[in-house]
A and B are shown apart, each in its own frame.
Chain A
Amino acid sequence: MKNLRYTSIDGNSPAYLGLLGFFGLFLLAAFVAFVNMEHEGHWITGMNNQIVWGMPHVFAIFLIVAASGALNVASIASVFGKKLYKPLSRLSAVLAVALLAGGLAVLVLDLGRADRLIVAMTYYNFKSIFAWNIILYNGFFLIVGLYLWTMLDWQVEKYARVAGTAAFIWRLILTTGTGSIFGFLVSRQAYDSALLAPMFVILSFSFGLAIFMLVMFAAFKWTGRPLGDLVVNRLKNLLGVFVAATFYFSAVYHLTNLYMTKKHGIESFILLDGGIYTQLFWWGQIVIGTLLPLLLVYCPRPSKHRFAIGLAAVLVILGGMANLYVIIIGGQAYPIPLLPAEFEYSSTFFDGVVAGYSPSKWEIMLGLGGVALSLFIVAFALKIFRLLPDDLSDNLVSSKS
């Protein structure tokens, strides 16, 4: 790996400024949505007393989960010593921080009392996994920030492996924590499972890598830097493994539930007769998010094309959003039983019926704003830091790895 040089981008071209402006429009829309939601209250959204977490949470959790996964490339280089990925570590770490910032922004701006963020930082209930997550998120910023420093500054480079290992362990704990937000909920049949924690770790691997690959393609292409097939093929194979692993966890989760009679209701709701949730599960998560990407990355013919690999990454992201929508919103839509399974219910408060939810434009604007914020941060970081190697063609990277 000789003559590896990292450079920042000029960031003065109309295309670059246009890109920032494009993200800026989404940020503006998200700000309008936030102000309106905060001013009017949450009644203007699709969320209500039955579906208490809605579209903003799908976006937020997707971004937060993807954040820790985006760090994978750096971890593989520093922790597992794969030199091939080393040149991409900086981008990986910056993307991780940016995605987390975007996700947290959405989460925080959706709060009923977003003005009380300081309360969330000063009052802690240590039995709450949510409170632990706040600590884990803040710690992630700190640790990945330090890690990035060890990569950017040759004087502290010797600590890169320590920092990388710490960041790797931290991100595993972080995603375990995020999965446990749902796993620790005893009340709802879709949650209440320890399996959700490792499942979220695997989800993070696949979402994060998919986003990383797209950002990498765009960054190399738009700045005219060569990107060899060697590293791309390794990453696409890795993506295939993660997608398959996601499917495995999902299969185990549903098979376990299918074995328990008391969970037959929720399972038939998700798998058979849940309307939009069933559609999203089979078409979104399984077909778009699992089967098609696997075909694209493993079939010999399409997997040779950059476009097919990029498409696979896009499909993984879409399937991932569908997956989280089913977990988060489908899990709430299915009614909670008050008494043993023999009884059925009705009330003025939607007991015993599937709760309705249609996301409002405000929620979608806020969610897309989080995505835009993440990408804006990455684009801006490319200008101020030297994150990208000049050249990543095969002859340069293959000499040592």
Chain B
Amino acid sequence: MNSETPIDQYRRRLLGGSVAALAGLTLAPGVFLQTVQARPADEPVSDRNRWGLLIDTNKCADGCNRCVTACNEENGLKPMHGPTTDPQWIRIVKVKSKSTGYQFQMPVMCQHCEHPPCVDVCPTGASFKRADGIVLVDRHICIGCRYCMMACPYKARSLVHETLTDQKPYMPRGKGTVESCTLCVHKVDRGDGTTACAEACPEQAILFGDLNDSGSEISRRLEQYGGRQLRADLGLNTGVRYQGF
């Protein structure tokens, strides 16, 4: 029998397209495409990118929570046994200044820290940060100890408190493991260049982008207007930044 089996041909078909794309990238070192969608499926993520969000609280409309419902829909989060145990990857926090009475609201989710406390404390390494700055839970090795939930300054994490069925194929989730905002990693990897919350916001208050790319809109807006981090005192260098207060 010929060593070139149909399977080998099949495998080549699967890989073929992406090899060409990889070659295209390496031909121009230092010059990276603005459209980062070009990362081929077989190329590992790298620290060339650092994905983040910029949230403009001036635009965040009072009483709106479209980003929350969009996140729940995208990731298959459903109400189960009540608000204390239901997972929330993103929530609207209403803020009021005690001294001036100034009020605003803002979405809060995993802040995708450069130095994430959840990653530091995780005993098995299930909580980890991808090279491109996205903080994730590897549920395959999460033992459900919840130490990361103790450590997170943003209360960004939830434990799945019950048996789940009918998860989204691209977003596996299950009982007894901890989860949080993935920055819509499946969309990022697909090259959508946005997240479900950012897409859903009617006021464009949420902007997704590459903090490492000085030409990206997120970087330009941060350069122009500045941005602040929640709990900046902790020095975690979050990937989610806020403007407007």
* Chain A–chain B contact at Cβ < 8 A: yes
Whether the pair A187, B151 counts as a contact (CB closer than 8 A) is yes
Q: Is A299 an interface residue (CB 8 A)?
A: no
Whether the pair A348, B88 counts as a contact (CB closer than 8 A) is yes
Q: Residues of A contacting B167 with CB < 8 Å?
A: none
Q: How far is the CA of A144 from the CA of B125 in the complex (A)?
A: 29
Q: Residues of A contacting B94 with CB < 8 Å?
A: 345-347
Query: Which of A42-50, A269-277, A372-380, A381-389 lines the interface with chain B?
Result: A42-50
Whether the pair A184, B149 counts as a contact (CB closer than 8 A) is no
Q: Residues of A contacting B158 with CB < 8 Å?
A: 49
Whether the pair B176, A42 counts as a contact (CB closer than 8 A) is yes
Using CB atoms, name the residue of chain A closest to B162: A41
Residues 38-58 (chain A) with a chain B CB within 8 angstroms: 38, 40-43, 48-50, 52-53
Whether the pair B98, A342 counts as a contact (CB closer than 8 A) is yes
Q: Residues of A contacting B77 with CB < 8 Å?
A: none
Whether the pair A187, B141 counts as a contact (CB closer than 8 A) is no
Using CB atoms, name the residue of chain A closest to B128: A125
Q: Residues of A contacting B153 with CB < 8 Å?
A: 186-187, 336, 338
Whether the pair B91, A49 counts as a contact (CB closer than 8 A) is no
Which of these, A336, A337, A344, contacts B96 with CB under 8 Å? A344
Q: Is B52 an interface residue (CB 8 A)?
A: no
Residues 146-201 (chain B) with a chain A CB within 8 angstroms: 146-147, 149-155, 157-163, 175-178
Which of these, B93, B142, B151, B234, contacts A345 with CB under 8 Å? B93
Q: Is B76 an interface residue (CB 8 A)?
A: no
Q: Is B92 an interface residue (CB 8 A)?
A: yes
Q: Residues of B contacting A343 with CB < 8 Å?
A: 95-98
Q: How far is the CA of A350 from the CA of B81 in the complex (A)?
A: 16
Which of these, A43, A116, A127, A339, contacts B141 with CB under 8 Å? A116
Whether the pair A124, B151 counts as a contact (CB closer than 8 A) is no
**Size band of the interface chain B makes with A:** 35 or more
Q: Is B87 an interface residue (CB 8 A)?
A: yes
Which of these, B93, B119, B160, B231, contacts A346 with CB under 8 Å? B93
Q: Is B62 an interface residue (CB 8 A)?
A: no
Q: Residues of A contacting B154 with CB < 8 Å?
A: 336, 338
Whether the pair A42, B159 counts as a contact (CB closer than 8 A) is yes
Binary contact track A338-359/B, C-beta < 8 Å → 1, others 0: 1110111111111110001000
Q: Residues of B contacting A17 with CB < 8 Å?
A: none
Using CB atoms, name the residue of chain A closest to B105: A347
Q: How far is the CA of A133 from the CA of B122 in the complex (A)?
A: 12
Main secondary structure of the interface of B (DSSP, over half): loop
Least Cβ distance of A60 to chain B in Å? 11
Q: Is B55 an interface residue (CB 8 A)?
A: no
Least Cβ distance of B40 to chain A in Å? 29
Q: How far is the CA of A38 from the CA of B161 in the complex (A)?
A: 10
Q: Is B46 an interface residue (CB 8 A)?
A: no
Residues 96-131 (chain A) with a chain B CB within 8 angstroms: 111-114, 116-117, 119-120, 123-125, 127-131
Given A187-B152, A346-B94, do A50 and B176 touch, yes or no (CB 8 Å)?
no
Which of these, B68, B121, B142, B152, contacts A112 with CB under 8 Å? B142
Q: Is B3 an interface residue (CB 8 A)?
A: no
Q: Is A1 an interface residue (CB 8 A)?
A: no
Q: Residues of B contacting A347 with CB < 8 Å?
A: 91-94, 108
Q: Is A188 an interface residue (CB 8 A)?
A: yes
Q: Is A295 an interface residue (CB 8 A)?
A: no
Least Cβ distance of A185 to chain B in Å? 5
Q: How far is the CA of A131 from the CA of B148 in the complex (A)?
A: 13
Q: Is B5 an interface residue (CB 8 A)?
A: no
Q: How far is the CA of A95 from the CA of B122 in the complex (A)?
A: 30
Q: Residues of A contacting B141 with CB < 8 Å?
A: 116, 119, 123
Whether the pair B124, A52 counts as a contact (CB closer than 8 A) is no
Q: Residues of A contacting B93 with CB < 8 Å?
A: 338, 345-347, 349, 351-352
Given A112-B143, A124-B123, A336-B155, do A52 and B149 touch, yes or no (CB 8 Å)?
yes
Residues 139-193 (chain A) with a chain B CB within 8 angstroms: 181, 184-188
Least Cβ distance of A214 to chain B in Å? 31
Whether the pair A43, B143 counts as a contact (CB closer than 8 A) is no
Whether the pair B91, A349 counts as a contact (CB closer than 8 A) is yes
Q: Is B120 an interface residue (CB 8 A)?
A: yes
Q: Residues of B contacting A186 with CB < 8 Å?
A: 117, 151, 153, 234
Q: Is B224 an interface residue (CB 8 A)?
A: no
Least Cβ distance of A119 to chain B in Å? 5
Q: Is A134 an interface residue (CB 8 A)?
A: yes
Whether the pair A41, B163 counts as a contact (CB closer than 8 A) is yes
Q: Is A246 an interface residue (CB 8 A)?
A: no
Given A42-B85, A43-B162, do A187 and B143 touch, yes or no (CB 8 Å)?
no
Whether the pair A111, B145 counts as a contact (CB closer than 8 A) is yes
Least Cβ distance of A226 to chain B in Å? 46
Whether the pair B87, A112 counts as a contact (CB closer than 8 A) is no
Least Cβ distance of B203 to chain A in Å? 19
Q: How far is the CA of A111 from the CA of B140 in the complex (A)?
A: 14
Q: Residues of B contacting A111 with CB < 8 Å?
A: 143-145, 176
Give the interface of B toward A (CB within 8 A): 68, 80-88, 91-99, 108, 117, 119-126, 141-147, 149-155, 157-163, 175-178, 230-231, 233-234
* A-B CB contact pairs (8 Å), 15 listed: A40-B162, A41-B175, A41-B176, A42-B85, A112-B177, A113-B142, A113-B177, A116-B141, A130-B121, A130-B145, A337-B231, A342-B97, A345-B93, A348-B91, A351-B91
Extra A-B contacts (17), CB below 8 Å, given A125-B119, A128-B121, A338-B153: A43-B81, A49-B85, A49-B161, A111-B144, A112-B145, A119-B124, A124-B125, A128-B123, A186-B151, A187-B151, A339-B230, A339-B231, A342-B97, A344-B95, A347-B92, A348-B88, A348-B92
Closest 6 CB pairs of A and B: A112-B144, A112-B176, A187-B153, A48-B84, A43-B161, A41-B162
